[in-house]
Each structure stands twice: as C-alpha cells, then as structure tokens.
C-alpha cells in the first residue's frame, strides 16, 4: 500500500479505501521521515489497514522554502518477500533471513520442517545477528542458524537510509558452501 500524509500525520490520500480520518503520527517510519527530513526506513510492523507484516518506507515532502508539507509512504509486504525467496532464490537446504536494525526478523525462509523463528521474532541476542551487524557485505562465516543448523552464511548490509540498516543473510548447508 502507499499514501500521502500531512506533516501532522493525517492522511491525504492512499491506495486503500478508508472510512473516516486516519493518522500515522505514531508510526516509526513517519517520525523518522519528519525528524531527519530524509528517506526513512521504519521497523517491522503489522499494517493498521492491511493487517499484514510490512516494513514502512517514507520520504518527507519538503517545499522550495524548506518547509515540511508531509510524507509520502509505501509499505514493503514482507510476506511477498518470503514467498519470492522461497519460490525463486534458494537451493535445497538453504535459508534466507532479513532482519531490521533492532534485530527483528522481517522475513525468514527455512528448509521445510525447520524451527526458524518467523517474521516479528527477535534474534537480537543471537550470535547470527551479531555476525550480521559486524560482517561486511559479501563476507561469510560458519555459524549455527537461528534454527540450530550449522550453515555457511553470506552477509549483506542493505543500508537503505542513514542509521536504518536492513541485514540479509543467506545460509547454505556446509557441504554446498564448500564446493
């Protein structure tokens, strides 16, 4: 979904049909866009209208005089990210993990039957999250995944905005990662 909001958070227009007034001033992505006056990436959220897990992306609307007029917003459907990764990207036994800067799982695609925590779970205390934060894009490391399986992980920092990193990791079974 997408929308345009006034600088106080009131909805001007959007892709979803809504009855009555609607305000997003309490949403992290809105607050960040207004405060930083720059592109902002929010945190994991359940959409107020759609009820779906999503990641808010917002850009402030600044007029020529430098005055904030509002915020334009779109939501990245995290379920769709999972579906695409599961259908198109991963070899058998591999895993895909997308995590926000707070250590919240945005999307996780494990092998079938795995106990991998899903979207919304916190992995902030895990060794894997520490490696994701400290690893350079393209670096790799053998670690236990959040489901306990030993995997060779490749790390990517998707620094989408200032202080708003999104971390991705692709884990391959050790025998596949060594060929």
| pTM score of the predicted model | 0.79
Which residues are paired to 56 by β-bridges? 75
Give the H or E element holding residue 140: strand 140-144
Confidence at residue 75, expressed as pLDDT on a 0 to 100 scale: 92
CA distance 140 to 122: 22
Confidence at residue 112, expressed as pLDDT on a 0 to 100 scale: 45
pLDDT in 10s for each residue of the chain, 179 residues: 899 999 999 999 988 888 888 899 999 999 999 999 999 998 899 888 888 899 999 999 999 999 999 999 999 999 888 888 777 667 777 888 899 988 999 988 874 455 666 788 899 998 888 888 886 778 888 988 777 788 899 988 887 665 667 888 888 888 764 55
- Order of strands, sheet of 2-6, starting from the edge strand that comes earlier in the sequence: 11-14, 2-6, 68-77, 53-62, 40-46
Confidence at residue 35, expressed as pLDDT on a 0 to 100 scale: 93
The percent of residues in the chain predicted with pLDDT above 90, rounded, is: 35
CA distance 173 to 98: 18
**What does the angle CA 141 – CA 147 – CA 153 come to, to the nearest 5 degrees?**
20
Confidence at residue 164, expressed as pLDDT on a 0 to 100 scale: 64
CA distance 174 to 48: 41
pLDDT tens, residue by residue, 164-175: 678 888 888 887
């Amino acid at each position: 979904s997408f929308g345009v909001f006034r600088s106080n958070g009131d909805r001007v227009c959007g892709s979803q049909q809504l009855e009555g007034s609607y305000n997003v001033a309490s949403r992290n992505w809105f607050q960040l866009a207004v405060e930083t006056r720059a592109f902002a990436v929010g945190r994991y959220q359940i959409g107020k209208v759609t009820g779906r897990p999503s990641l808010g992306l917002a850009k402030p609307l600044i007029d020529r005089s430098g005055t904030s007029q509002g915020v334009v917003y779109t939501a990245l459907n995290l379920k769709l990210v999972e579906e695409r990764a599961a259908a198109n990207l991963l070899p058998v036994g591999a895993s895909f993990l997308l995590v926000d800067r707070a250590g919240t799982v945005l999307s996780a695609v494990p092998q079938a039957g795995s106990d991998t925590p899903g979207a919304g779970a916190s992995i902030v205390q895990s060794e894997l999250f520490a490696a994701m934060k400290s690893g350079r894009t393209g670096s790799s490391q053998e670690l236990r995944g959040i489901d306990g399986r030993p995997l060779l992980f490749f790390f990517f920092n998707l620094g989408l905005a200032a202080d708003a990193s999104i971390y991705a990791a692709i884990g391959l079974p050790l025998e596949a990662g060594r060929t």
